[in-house]
Chains A and B, each alone.
Chain A
Amino acid sequence: MRVLDALITGLAQGAMIALIALGYTMVYGVLKLINFAHSEIFMMSAFIGLFLITMLGGTEHPLLAGVGGTLMAMVAAALIGMLVERIAYRPLRNRGKSSLVRVTPLVTALGMSVLLQNLAQLMFTARNRSYPQLLTGSLSLGPLSVGTSRVVILLTAVVVMVVLELIVKRTWFGKAMRALSANEEAARLMGINTSRVISATFALGSSLAALGSVLFCLDQSPVHPSLGLVVGTRAFVAAVLGGIGSITGAMLGGLLIGVLGELLKLTSFSGGTDIPAFLVLIVVLLVRPAGLLGSARAEKV
């Protein structure tokens, strides 16, 4: 019974991690860049979400504030994601093919992450701010009583993941994204506006992170400038575990980390839930270096 409870909480927890992990994995897929600023976009959108939800009435109009605030935060996050890409990463692309080509954007990404974190501290101070409690109460499913927030999180995540899968597999944009991922130069020669596709990828990944962050904060967390660091690490691990670059892999990795973490809380290891989770990561990477669902395609160096 308690195991089942923990399992459901773990799935909800994992679904939120997966939403953030998708951003890492999609950007890596098209650019082969680990976008460290992604966790800061997650944090920034949590702040924006808080302000919007409070502005729209908070607990007085829970539905309007919740849905409206989340959607607007997603739009804002998409804009921030595109802006970061435009000013920090795009100028570095097409700067020759030396070995530095991969390192420079990586360091820029780290720099962007530090910059955004300090900016948030300056603008919002280091104080923890709590979200209004919009998702309270619980639904009873047979003998099980599940918190409303878990149900909302799980449903949202499933819908979003199905929609994302459709976008990637069925739309022109998805096809362009996959083409870019396979070979950027060839994609450009085929008439794909790569800059626009990359920009859209950043927008999509950032808005998913915003959705994840608003749900995460509504459910369990206060907002503070180092929020991204805590959750971002876990999401990044999920992306690597599932196979970075693979969208289904990120979802799987997120769910695995979430469920594993929650189940461990029932044991006496509750004080160090990250230790076994990271051990699993190391073991998986030793056996399958590309991650659970990653393609082991050899890369030309």
Chain B
Amino acid sequence: MTVSRRLFGSALAIVTLVIATGTGCSKSSNDIPVGAYLSLSGSDSTFGIDTRDGIELARQEVNEKGGIKGRKVNVIYEDDKSTSQEASNKVRQLIDRDKVIAILGEVASSRSLAGGLIANTKKVPMVTPSSTAVEVTKDREYVFRTCFTDAQQGDVAARFVFDTLKKKNVGLFYVAQDNYSAGLAKSFKESLQKLGGTIVVEKGYQSKETQFTTLLSDLKASKPEVIFVPVYYNDMVQIARQAKQLGMPGSMFIGGDGWDSSDLIEGAGEALEGAYFTNHYAPDVPWPNSQAFLKSFKAKYNHEPSSLSAQGYDAARLLFDAMGRATELTPEAVKTALVQTKDFAGATGTLTIDKDHNANKPIVVVQIKGKKFTYASQLMAQ
């Protein structure tokens, strides 16, 4: 009995301490509280940190210009440790404890789904900068996104292959058990077939596979003109290396935004020379806002921004813009302003929020040239 009472006592003390520090955390009451939940540690920590860099730049810029409606913006960052459970906990915490009026996050679709559920139930608007799964905004009144969806991306890749590259016989190579990879392959296939192209060969592989030689020679035997490989960059490094051994040129491969990492070029080297992939952004994209972003980002952080930083920057700026347009600073009014977003000029292109709360914006096609990501073309998402 004494033990449990003592235990209860110390638990109470800890709880009190947590509440005390919790309240101590919030900034001066006049700032506008905006929440951001990101993977700042754990397996996807680079995603979270890059996105935070973009958001911080946007916050700094808006505050330097006098804030919103005369009040400064305070972004409260929470780390979800790259897990879905923590994502919903942190969103709950941001809404209940910090009383934020809007939320930014996450990068991974699985975590945006988890966090978005809470935000939607509690009627606080949430803007995800980089979650591309269609379900994230589906039937969720309070969830928005500033990036394209997997369905839009697959369609753009198919139109690029068919219309721009004029290739008709295409191979498909994807991770069979991965939602992102298999989903993107599916939407690509549907669009290409609608355009009149043919999928001559289709191969799925098991996630965590490293030996691609047999699979690649099987693909090669069907003589596709190009192969669409919507996988993550880590897998693509090995695929490209082993394809080179089989004499398959880099220009044979087309990918999606999962390719976007400097690790891809570092690992694959010349093996991917000439390959194309669809992306949110490229450092040399000719839009004026992108160049302005590039300059101020480099001035603040001394390195080139990744796509994720650009997307984080855009999501934050779009949200601040909506907050400025809102009739008052309440979650409901900000949500209404977000719905009305039209022709917002971002670093990742000019976007309009459609009725499904997705972004209508151009998708960039990047080519790997001279071991660098270079802007090749842009197509409007449909």
A contact set with B: CB distance below 8 Å? 2, 5-6, 9-10, 13, 126-128, 130, 133, 136-138, 147, 216, 219-222, 224, 230, 261-262, 265-266, 270-274
Cβ contact within 8 Å between A220 and B203? no
Interface positions of B from 194 to 245, Cβ below 8 Å from A: 203-206, 208-215, 217-218, 221, 234, 237-238, 241-242, 245
A-B contact count (CB 8 A): 77
Give the shortest distance, in Å, between A132 (CB) and chain B (any CB).
Answer: 10
Residues of B within 8 A of A224 (CB): 234
Give the shortest distance, in Å, between B220 (CB) and chain A (any CB).
Answer: 10
Cβ contact within 8 Å between B204 and A270? yes
Partner of B245 from A136, A262, A272, A273 at Cβ < 8 Å: A136
Cβ contact within 8 Å between B214 and A220? no
Cβ contact within 8 Å between A13 and B267? no
Cβ contact within 8 Å between A222 and B234? yes
Residues of A within 8 A of B203 (CB): 270
Count, chain B residues at interface, CB 8 A: 30
Which has the most chain B C-beta neighbours within 10 Å: A224, A261, A271?
A: A271
A136 to B204, CA, bound (A): 26
Cβ contact within 8 Å between A2 and B211? no
Partner of A266 from B175, B176, B210, B218 at Cβ < 8 Å: B218
Partner of A222 from B46, B204, B214, B238 at Cβ < 8 Å: B238
Judged by a CB distance under 8 angstroms, whether B177 is at the interface is yes
Residues of A within 8 A of B204 (CB): 270-271
Cβ contact within 8 Å between A2 and B217? yes
* SS class, residues of chain B in contact with chain A: helix
A5 to B216, CA, bound (A): 12
A272 to B178, CA, bound (A): 12
* Nearest 4 interchain pairs by C-beta: A271-B176, A271-B204, A130-B267, A221-B210
Can you add 12 more A-B contacts, CB < 8 Å, to A130-B238, A270-B203? Answer: A5-B213, A127-B46, A128-B263, A128-B267, A130-B241, A130-B266, A133-B241, A220-B213, A261-B211, A265-B205, A266-B214, A274-B206
Cβ contact within 8 Å between A6 and B214? yes
Cβ contact within 8 Å between A9 and B238? no
Partner of A128 from B213, B214, B237 at Cβ < 8 Å: B237
**Minimum CB distance partner of A138 in chain B:** B245
Give the shortest distance, in Å, between A265 (CB) and chain B (any CB).
Answer: 4
Judged by a CB distance under 8 angstroms, whether B121 is at the interface is no
Partner of B215 from A219, A221, A265, A272 at Cβ < 8 Å: A265
A177 to B237, CA, bound (A): 43
Residues of B within 8 A of A262 (CB): 211, 214
Cβ contact within 8 Å between B177 and A127? no
Residues of B within 8 A of A265 (CB): 205, 214-215, 218
Judged by a CB distance under 8 angstroms, whether B4 is at the interface is no
Cβ contact within 8 Å between B242 and A270? no
Judged by a CB distance under 8 angstroms, whether B43 is at the interface is yes
Give the shortest distance, in Å, between A276 (CB) and chain B (any CB).
Answer: 11
A147 to B221, CA, bound (A): 18
**Minimum CB distance partner of B269 in chain A:** A133
A266 to B217, CA, bound (A): 9
Partner of B217 from A5, A13, A216 at Cβ < 8 Å: A5
A133 to B242, CA, bound (A): 10
Residues of B within 8 A of A220 (CB): 210-213, 238, 242
Cβ contact within 8 Å between B213 and A9? yes
A210 to B89, CA, bound (A): 42
Residues of B within 8 A of A266 (CB): 214, 218
